[in-house]
Structure 1
Amino acid sequence: MDRLDFCLSVEGADGLDDREWMIANGLAGYASGRLDGSAARRHDGLLVAALPVSGRTILLDRIEETVIPAAGASAFALFDALVEVRLERGMPVWRFVRDGIELERRIVMPWRQNTTLLSYRLLSGGPDIGLEIRPWMHFRGNDGPADQPLYPPVLSWHQGGRIEVTQGAFPPLRLAVRAAAMSLVLGEERTEAAFYPIEAERDYTARGPVWNPGRFMLRLGDGGAELIASAEPWPAALAQTALDALAAENGRRDRLIAHAVPAVRDAVGQRLVLAADAFLFEPRGRFDLAARALAQGDDVRSVIAGYPWFNDWGRDTMIALEGLTLVTGRPDEARRILRTFAAYERDGLIPNNIPDGGTEGVYHAADASLWFFHALDRYLAATGDSETLALILPVLRRIMAAHRAGTRFGIGVDPADGLLRQGAEGYMLTWMDSATPRRGKAVEINALWYNALFVMSGWLAAEGDETGAAQIREEAARVRESFNRRFWNPETGFLFDLIDGEDGDDPACRCNQILALSLPHPVLESERWASVLSVVERRLLTPFGLRSLDPAAPDYRSSYAGDLHTRDFAYHRGTVWAWLIGPFVDAWLKVHPGDRAGARRVLSGLVGHLDEFCVGTIAEVFDGDSPHRPRGCPAQAWSVAEMLRAWANSAP
């Protein structure tokens, strides 16, 4: 790939019905759909606003556009004339040609506004071309069912080319048009037949209701036309034209690329830098946290784990932090994220997730707190920010103390060997948290525990607490000895996935063992690195990441498809996870120092994937078997972050 942008010429529907687009607004709001102009998922919409109380809400679901030529020619649906789709700096552009008329349509979301602007530019065809726009809407949470009852919205106000639509407690949806000439034809319509084809594939309800208040009739002059959809007050909604907003957003994206580390300023790296930006957001509804941050001269920041349905997850955030913020040259964002999550610590735990629109965390994760140590270590290595370390150190002490003494969900150190165990009835506490029970001592949890002890001893020593540092060094040495004695399986030449589990020790060949050598401070003895890497490469490596289970295992599932129960069972039983490409490259470079070309070859599949599925970003998971169809969340933070980090680390 030698270009930053994506372009697809259209022949019929080829290449459109399996590709999607998505842009975000820095608040966790977004706009998304298929390249063919349709809404493919119940989560899709042209304005999915991030609202302080209700969370992400689909306000504008879709629009119908009809081109009305000069007198004597037949009107046609705009997307029936589609000939080309481009993504320029990650933002979609559609080109349409029919009967001598050529039109271009662009979409942009102004940064940190719940606003979407669509612009229409007449490239050829004369000045008397008309455009009819019918806006269809359904005020519902973005993860709500497609057939959620639609209580009729109310057209509460209209004047000229502007209208306000309200429903219940939701803020008004404000719609406006700008054109050479326009009129508004009122007349409510409702249909129960809005169709979301990907929901049918996933065995969810795929049809539901949408409503529209009427239609805008526009004349496309030399200046084109635009549609504004916004949840902001009118002055903010109308502050910029679509062209002004597009110029501002292009400038912002150019600056993002310029700030990234030099190793990712090639075409692939630039696309990944822009993809990473979508996941960093300012959570506007967490007022108490924002007030505390403001008092410290800071702001609240977090990471959306994936679009369109995930919110901010502690584990995902800490894994993704280095790629999303440090490789991209945004250490201030990293600092804000770390301080934000530190403020959520309870009983020695960093939250597993923070519900959409919520202010309190959910804490059922054994590894989020350990990944927090890793993320802070990467941040401090990049910045040397002793002030942030001093601020967070009391939180780190509480986490360490709670893990020694034992905390929620059976998370705590086993005094017999110093290893960390976890497990509580009804909870799955590792990252394999869907229908894969792993109560006991998990291999990656203890690799992370050792890594956390190692970095904590250094931080305490730097703060002058040599007694505390010495105690933790002793703990770390004991963990390392126990780990290498207990997790190594001499019969297989790789590591047990779990020891002291409900069914004893688990010899399954899983991806988790790669963390025992990939982390900055590996717990696994170096003479065993090559053996583990070789097994993982032969049995688990694919062009898109690592399988979660060896295909030879009886429980292996080759495809992540079907209904929810079937998908949950397959989620960690063979499904490929893209984020694990980062740890694999780290391990590769430890076993093969200097072989960056070999590491770069491992990434070639994900480079090609940037032109597939949700174009310009990376999916959550892929099928275990070839051709490894992308599945799950179409835009996943840790997938992008770890690919970006691996791309930087493998640069020539």
Structure 2
Amino acid sequence: MSGSGGGAAAAASIWPHVDVRRELGRALFREWVASNGAGAYASSTVACMHTRRYHGLLVAALEPPRARHVVLSHVDVTVKSLAPRAAWDLATHQFPGLNPERGPFYLDRFDQDPVPRWTYAVAGGELEVLLALVRGENAAVLRYTWRGPHPVVITLRPLLAMRHMHALMREHGAMEQRVELRAGEMRVRPMKGLPRLCFRYEGTFVGSPDWWRRFEYLVERDRGLEFQEDLWTPGVFEIRADGSGAPSFLVVGVDKLPEGKPEEIITQTVTAIQAEDPGPTVSTLERKLSVAAELYRADLAPVPSVVAGYPWAEHWGRDGLIALPGLYLATGKVEEAKRVLRGIVATMEGGLVPGRRADEDGRPDTAMAGATLWLFEAARSFADVLGDADPFLQGEVVPAMTAAFEAILRGDAPNGIRVTADGLLAAGKPGDAPTWMNARVHGQPVTPRVGCAIELSALWARGCHTLARLAHAAGAGALADRADIACRRARAAFHARFWCDQTSYPYDVISEVKEGEEAFQDAAIRPNAVLALAIDPACFSPERARATLRRAREELVTPAGLRTLAPSDTAYKGYYGGNVAERDAAYHQGTAWPWLLGFYARAARGVLPAEDSLVVELPELIASAAEREVAVGQVAELASGDMPYTPNGGPAQAFSVAELLRALKG
């Protein structure tokens, strides 16, 4: 994670800083992201040249934290000097047939301390541009500060996309070009199906509605997707700056403008983010990860939740439950954690947690075995903090766990979730990909894992143990006994069936025991056995636990996280890149995932003595994984499994940050 390049104060060292020095190559392949605490975000490259359709200066959450739309894509800046007469265009875009690296580029440095700030060297002085999203609102403040020897005119051209974040805009004749002007305000509603945009500005506004065509997004192109977009502008704002360093502001809001003075709004945003820094009594890395965790907490949304990642991941039940202990409980945010878990429980149908919430119609997607079982694991983390008799657990969480327990025992849940005759958990049917390894190529799962997946059976065994523990605390003896029996059966079957003597490592997936059917056992070396060991060590003998860790260290552990498949496997694909099909084919076939390192750390610390080399090296591994950035100050979703372990996937991922922070705190 990037350190700051400016100032000697200890606090400055935790904030991202990039020395650009007017070289586009330094700024084009690094990204940044900021959020408003309610699901809206802003993101781009450090150069502010968008490379993804998801980039924008205001991506509003119209149904917080969901229904995210790119409303304000860019605000292009031109600095005009009056004496001598000259102009500097600061915007950098990719258009067909043009190489932006051959044109002038004026960005000197980028800081996110804690909000994004760009400093351009132009006209013998410098222009500083700062962006702050308004906490809890679909609104942003842009601040422009000119320090130079001569007065200048700063021209600002807003470019609007006005579309869902997964879509692209094309020029069309239905764009409403009428603007409403008031003193220092401009309002426009170019798309009838979307809210209006409101601007508060200084200086003058000159209406000149027009389309700017064929912006190209290079990451989308490289993925084999549509990558060209047209953007619309209502006109330009012109601000006169005398060079004294007095700031000027452009404020934009969806449907309405935020209340308060612009500088006060910026201060509120800065203060809220700075408050996440635990201070110099802890390591610099822990401070950075603590600040990074703020990005994913949508605590200001009407129903608080975890945003699974940026820029495209949404409110996903499974990912949110995995990330919740690290984002909240490990950082002491217990009351906020309760509100998030309460919101997840409210989405349950038929006793099961949806894998994600559908963005368009608000209905839950098909319930998933993994998402539901992670509810039990989250409840265990809560119980360890709150105590088994806590009213929140007993009054709200235990009933949800009981409903899930009964639904799984009945075997009538979606995704074929069921308990086998010997007590393990099975999920999926032909064509399904029921676990977290759920990538598909041409509609077919890459890793189907149909049957008894090792981590799901461990989650079931430990989940039953947790339910028995909480039911016992409530005096619900009958429920406690049933859950305890289910736990014991699952652990006994796990001991009997999952160990592979040939690999000295557990099977990844085994088939159910059915009379007349040939047994199936997948001996691929995958990290799911490490997940199982961290979740329920009682499923392993001490000898098998140690052997599992040694094999995982030998074949799966990298400086970027744990590989999803051992390189010795013929199906291994360590490089993550190419078009969508090529990337999805490698998604769980060798890529390294930082979040898995958190479970590896818990498993190692729970099994091995503190002086063991596998335990001693954990801080170094955690730091190495955290340093591999796509978005500055954040931890990516995954990395290639081969050297140099290039980070990729989602630029900022909730469970990556959460699990590294949790592992760092021990």
Q: Structure 1 length normalisation: TM-score?
A: 0.91
Distance apart, 1:216 and its partner CA: 0.8
Q: Distance in 1 between matches of 2:210 and 2:201?
A: 20
Q: Distance in 1 between matches of 2:542 and 2:171?
A: 55
Return 269-278 or 56-65, whichever deviates more: 269-278
CA shift, 1:73, in A, is: 3.4
| Residue in structure 1 matched with residue 327 of structure 2 by the alignment | 324
- Residue number in structure 2 paired with 1:152: 175
Structure-2 change in CA distance of 1:522 and 1:579 (3 Å)? farther
Give the equivalent residue in structure 2 for 1:76: 88
Question: Post-superposition shift, 1:613?
Answer: 1.4
User: Counterpart in 2 of 1:287?
Assistant: none
- Separation (CA, whole Å) in 1 of partners of 2:609 and 2:149: 60
> Does structure 1 residue 94 correspond to structure 2 residue 118?
yes
Match of 2:187 among 164, 167, 173: 164
Of all paired residues, the percent bearing the same amino acid is 30
Give the 3-state SS of the residue equivalent to 1:614 in structure 2: coil
Q: How far apart in 1 are the matches of 2:208 and 2:222?
A: 34
What does residue 565 of structure 1 align with?
581
Larger CA deviation: 390-399 vs 516-525: 516-525
| 1:426 match | 431
2:549 equivalent to 1:539: no
Cross-structure match for 1:186? 207
Alpha-carbon deviation of 1:283? 7.9
Residue 522 of structure 1, CA deviation: 4.1
1:390 and 2:394 correspond: yes
Matches within 5 A, 1:200-219: 200-219=221-240
1:365 equivalent to 2:381? Answer: no
Counterpart check, 1:220 vs 2:241: yes
1:282: Cα distance to partner?
4.8
- Deviation of the 1:490 alpha carbon: 0.8
Instruction: Give a deviation string over 1:65-92, Cα, whole Å, max 9, x none.
Output: 0001132231111353211111202x21
Equivalent pairs, count:
621
User: In structure 1, the residue corresponding to 2:26 is in which secondary structure?
Assistant: coil
Residue equivalent to 2:135: 111
The residue identity in structure 1 corresponding to 2:486 is E
Which residue is equivalent to 1:411? 417
Q: Who is 1:48 aligned against?
A: 59
Mark the CA change 1:210 to 1:503 in structure 2 (over 3 Å): closer, same or farther. Answer: farther
Corresponding letter in the other structure for 2:283? D
* 1:397-419 residue CA offsets vs partner (Å, 9 max, x unmatched): 1111111110222111012x111
Q: Give yes or no for contact 1:546–1:577 (8 Å, CA) kept in 2.
A: yes
Residue 164 (structure 1) shift:
1.5
SS in structure 1 at match of 2:28:
coil
Residues 1:26 and 1:505: Cα distance change in structure 2 (over 3 Å): same
Paired position in structure 1 for 2:287 = 270
Q: Conserved in 1, the CA contact under 8 Å of 2:277 and 2:287? A: yes
The TM-score with structure 2 as length reference comes to 0.89
Query: Alpha-carbon deviation of 1:472?
Result: 2.2
Contact 1:146 1:206 in 2 (8 A): no
- Provide the secondary structure at the position in 1 that maps to 2:180: strand
Question: Which residue matches 2:218?
Answer: 197
Letter matched to residue 62 of structure 1: H
Tell me how far apart the structure 2 counterparts of residues 642 and 194 of structure 1 sit (CA, whole Å).
37
Structure 2 CA distance, aligned partners of 1:195 and 1:5? Answer: 30
Is the CA contact 1:155–1:163 (under 8 Å) kept in the aligned structure 2? no
User: Counterpart of 1:367 in 2: which secondary structure?
Assistant: helix
Amino acid at match of 1:254: Q
- Paired residues of 2:136 and 2:300 also in contact (CA < 8 A): no
Determine helix, strand or coil for the equivalent of 2:32.
strand
Equivalence map 1:214-613=2 (5 Å): 214-221=235-242, 222=244, 223-234=246-257, 237=258, 239-258=259-278, 265-282=282-299, 300-356=303-359, 358-384=361-387, 386-391=390-395, 392-406=397-411, 407-415=413-421, 417-434=422-439, 435=445, 436-500=447-511, 504-519=520-535, 522-595=538-611, 597-609=616-628, 612-613=629-630
1:191-243 deviations in whole A, cap 9, x for unaligned? 22112111112111111110111111111244221111210423xx2x23332
Q: Point out where structure 1 has 5 or more consecutive residues left out of the alignment.
A: 285-289, 291-299
1:29-40 alignment, distance < 5 Å? 29-40=40-51
Pick from 621, 633, 641 the counterpart of residue 638 of structure 2: 621
SS of 1:257's equivalent in the other structure is coil
- The equivalent position to 2:160 in structure 1, one of 137, 143, 147, is 137
Aligned to 2:36: 25
Q: Output the CA distance in 1 between the equivalents of 2:360 and 2:331.
A: 27
Q: Distance in 1 between matches of 2:142 and 2:519?
A: 57
Paired residues of 2:170 and 2:231 also in contact (CA < 8 A): no
Shift, 1:597, TM fit? 3.9
Q: Please state how far the C-alpha of 1:625 moved relative to its aligned partner.
A: 1.2
Contact 2:634 2:652 in 1 (8 A): yes
Partners in 2 of 1:637 and 1:42 — Cα distance?
A: 21
The aligned counterpart of 2:17 is 7
Cα distance, 1:266 vs. partner? 2.8
Deviations 1:33-59 (A, max 9, x none): 110121121011111100029810111
Residue matched to 1:295: none
Q: CA deviation at 1:364?
A: 3.9
Q: State the Cα deviation string for residues 562-621 of structure 1 (Å, max 9, x = none).
A: 222222211111111121011011112123333564210111212322xx3100111111
User: 1:228 is matched by which residue type in structure 2?
Assistant: V
- Distance in 2, matches of 1:522 and 1:241, equals 58
Partner deviation per Cα, 1:333-371 (whole Å, 9 max, x = no partner): 110111111122222211110122543211342111111
Deviations 1:299-352 (A, max 9, x none): x21111111111111111111011111122211111011111112222221111
Q: Distance in 2 between matches of 1:492 and 1:10?
A: 49
Contact conserved, 1:160 with 1:183, CA < 8 A, in 2? no
Measure the CA separation in 2 of the matches of 1:606 and 1:308: 20
1:146-192 CA-partner distances (Å, limit 9, x unpaired): 658684243331234322121112000112213xxx11111112122
Distance 1:187 1:543, change over 3 A: same
Letter in 2 for 1:140: R
Contact 1:256–1:328 (8 Å) recurs in 2: no
Instruction: Quote how far apart the aligned CAs of 1:520 are.
Output: 5.7
